[in-house]
Every structure is written in structure tokens, then in C-alpha cells.
């Protein structure tokens, strides 16, 4: 004789099943509908797909200008700032967990977990490919993308450099040569932070005239943050990476009570 689930448990199982199906459909919609917001800009920007092809081509043909070339790709594929009609909030179809966390911003600040009032509402992605797909961001966001790509696709170490007003990347080529890469200004310097601080004139010649960045190298509180995106904000890095797993695991778990009940009924 088949086992019959009590009415209340049956209703709860059906509700969880419907929620799980809805979340899975939302995830699939996100896979089919990229979060590409380049159409918000009036200027021409390299498409996400074209940028991926250019990075793959550089990966197959490594040479002494690879650092500069990858920096150039990110510069052309992302725009500085945030379009007025766009949002830094991660859309629910891409990651409904990160979207839901926007409502917890006041709680995170009250608990002292962040000093940013809109951590998730004005979200900087640590995942380089998701941020590159979105197509815009301030200097720290673009540098997170560049550092992540250096580490994940080219297997070279990358650190974030905080100049107290600007963020760029320091990386080390395979022969040990240090580079400073600034995707915002499409600049790649063939030396590291210490050399840049000691020789500001060499920095100024690489940046656009009247740029504010060369003067920042003279600051005494410049910081190198090793570890790429993970080192820049470890807690946020793991929250984000875990959330991209949980958006699939949680819906599947929600389906289980109803599926198990169906199996019991068939016995």
C-alpha cells in the first residue's frame, strides 16, 4: 500500500518544488541572457565575445608584449564608470543570491562586516569573466578583471596596487620582469611599484598629459595587495564563488521532498 504524505507536508513539498523549478528557470534564463550592458554607452566598445576570442588568441601565442596586449583588450572591452541607466546590482537571473543580499546591506554594515553602505547594491565583481561580460566599472573593477585573467588564463601572479585614489595591477612575467598594468588608461609599465615611486618621470611619459595618476605614485601609503581578486577582498571572493554554486544546489534540494514523495507513492 503506498505511503500517503500528510496534507500539510504535501502542500509544503509542492510549494518547495514550485520554488525550486522557478529558481532553476531563472538560472537557465541567466545562461541564455547575458548581463552585457555595453549598449548603454554611446562610444564603441569591444563586445564580450570578441574580447574572449582576443584573450584566447593571446594565450596561444605568448610573447614579450602579452601584458600590454591583454591590458589593451580589457581597456577596449570595458568602459570607465557606470552608465546612468545601468545598475551595479547583480540581476537576479545572473545570481539571485547576490541580488537578494542587496537587501542585507544595512545589516552587514551594522555588524561591522563592511564599511561600504551599498556593498551589494553597488557591487564590484571578483569573478573576472562576469565583470568583463557586464562591460563597465571603475578602476578597481577593471583591475580585478585584469588581475583575474592574468592568473586564471596566463598562470602569472598578479597583485592589486592601491595608490590611495587609484587601483591598478602589478604582475610578473615569466622571466621575472615586473609590470604595472592600468586598464583604465591602457598603460603597461615595464617595471614595478618601487621603480615607479623612485622614477615618477618614467611614469608620467606613459600616461596621458595632465593625468592625475603619476602624482599618486609619490604617496607614502601605496599598498600592494597580493593574490589578485581573492586577496583584494577574501570574504567577498568566497561569498561570490560559493553563491554561484548554491544558486544551482539550493533549487535541486528544494525539489527533493516532492520527488521523494513521488517515489514512495510508486512503491
pLDDT per residue as tens digits for the range 41-62: 666 789 999 999 999 999 999 8
Domain boundaries, the chain: 7-265
Where do we find the cell 602579452?
66
Q: Hey, how many other C-beta atoms are within 10 angstroms of the C-beta on 142?
A: 27
CA distance 235 to 266: 46
- CA-based nearest residue to 26, from 86, 90, 87, 83: 90
Positive or negative: CA dihedral 45, 46, 48, 49: positive
- Is pLDDT above 90 for 96? yes
What is the structure's pLDDT at 67?
95
Average pLDDT over residues 76-91: 82
Q: Please provide the DSSP assignment of 50-81 as one string.
A: HHHHHHHHHHHS--TTHHHHHHHHHHHH-EES
% of the chain surpassing 70 pLDDT: 93
At 21 the pLDDT is: 96
Identify the weakest region by mean pLDDT among 36-40, 55-59, 198-202.
Answer: 36-40
For residues 138-157, give the mean pLDDT: 95
Alpha-carbon distance of 236 to 267, in angstroms, equals: 46
Candidate from 3-12, 65-74, 98-107 with smallest mean pLDDT? 3-12
Categorize the per-residue pLDDT at 82 as very low, low, confident or very high, splitting at 50, 70 and 90: confident
Which of the two residues, 210 and 94, has the higher pLDDT score?
A: 94
C-alpha dihedral over 77, 55, 235, 25, to 10 degrees? Answer: 80
Residue 258 has what pLDDT? 86
User: Model-level pTM?
Assistant: 0.88
Q: Residues 166-195: pLDDT tens digits?
A: 999 999 998 889 999 999 999 999 999 999
Of the ranges 25-29, 62-66, 176-180, which one carries the lowest mean pLDDT score?
A: 62-66
Closest alpha carbon to 37 in 70, 77, 71, 92: 77
- Between 171 and 266, the higher pLDDT residue: 171
Percentage of the chain exceeding pLDDT 90? 60
Q: Given pLDDT bands bounded at 50, 70 and 90, which one contains residue 162?
A: very high
Mean pLDDT confidence for 9-18: 87
Pairing of strands 79-80, 136-137: parallel
Higher pLDDT, 140 or 164: 140
pLDDT at 86: 66
Highest-confidence range of 121-125, 210-214, 237-241, by mean pLDDT?
A: 237-241
How confident is the model over 124-143, as a mean pLDDT? 93
Average pLDDT of the segment spanning 149-174: 94
Residue 1 pLDDT > 70: no
Please list, in sequence order, all residues whose beta carbon lies within 8 angstroms of the beta carbon of residue 48, skipping any fewer than 6 positions away.
Answer: 34, 36, 38, 77, 132, 133, 135
pLDDT band at 4 (very low <50, low <70, confident <90, very high): low
Amino acid at each position: 500500500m503506498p505511503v500517503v504524505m500528510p496534507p500539510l507536508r504535501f502542500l509544503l513539498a509542492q510549494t518547495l518544488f514550485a520554488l525550486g523549478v522557478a529558481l532553476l528557470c531563472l538560472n537557465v534564463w541567466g545562461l541564455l541572457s547575458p548581463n552585457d550592458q555595453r549598449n548603454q554607452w554611446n562610444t564603441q566598445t569591444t563586445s564580450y565575445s570578441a574580447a574572449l576570442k582576443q584573450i584566447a588568441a593571446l594565450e596561444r601565442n605568448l610573447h614579450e608584449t602579452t601584458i600590454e596586449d591583454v591590458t589593451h583588450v580589457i581597456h577596449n572591452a570595458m568602459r570607465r564608470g557606470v552608465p546612468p541607466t545601468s545598475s551595479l546590482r547583480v540581476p537576479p537571473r545572473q545570481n539571485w543570491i547576490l541580488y537578494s543580499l542587496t537587501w542585507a546591506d544595512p545589516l552587514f554594515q551594522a555588524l561591522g562586516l563592511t564599511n561600504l553602505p551599498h556593498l551589494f547594491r553597488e557591487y564590484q565583481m571578483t569573478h573576472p569573466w562576469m565583470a568583463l561580460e557586464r562591460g563597465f566599472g571603475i578602476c578597481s573593477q577593471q583591475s580585478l578583471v585584469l588581475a583575474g585573467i592574468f592568473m586564471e588564463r596566463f598562470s602569472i601572479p598578479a597583485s592589486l596596487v592601491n595608490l590611495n585614489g587609484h587601483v591598478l595591477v602589478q604582475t610578473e612575467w615569466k622571466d621575472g620582469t615586473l609590470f604595472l598594468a592600468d586598464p583604465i588608461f591602457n598603460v603597461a609599465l615595464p617595471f614595478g611599484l618601487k621603480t615607479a615611486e623612485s622614477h615618477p618621470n618614467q611614469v608620467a611619459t606613459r600616461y596621458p598629459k595632465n593625468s592625475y595618476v603619476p602624482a599618486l605614485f609619490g604617496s607614502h601609503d601605496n599598498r600592494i595587495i597580493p593574490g589578485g581578486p581573492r586577496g583584494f577582498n577574501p570574504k567577498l571572493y568566497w561569498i561570490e564563488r560559493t553563491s554561484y554554486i548554491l544558486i544551482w544546489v539550493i533549487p535541486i534540494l528544494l525539489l527533493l521532498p516532492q520527488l521523494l514523495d513521488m517515489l514512495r507513492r510508486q512503491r
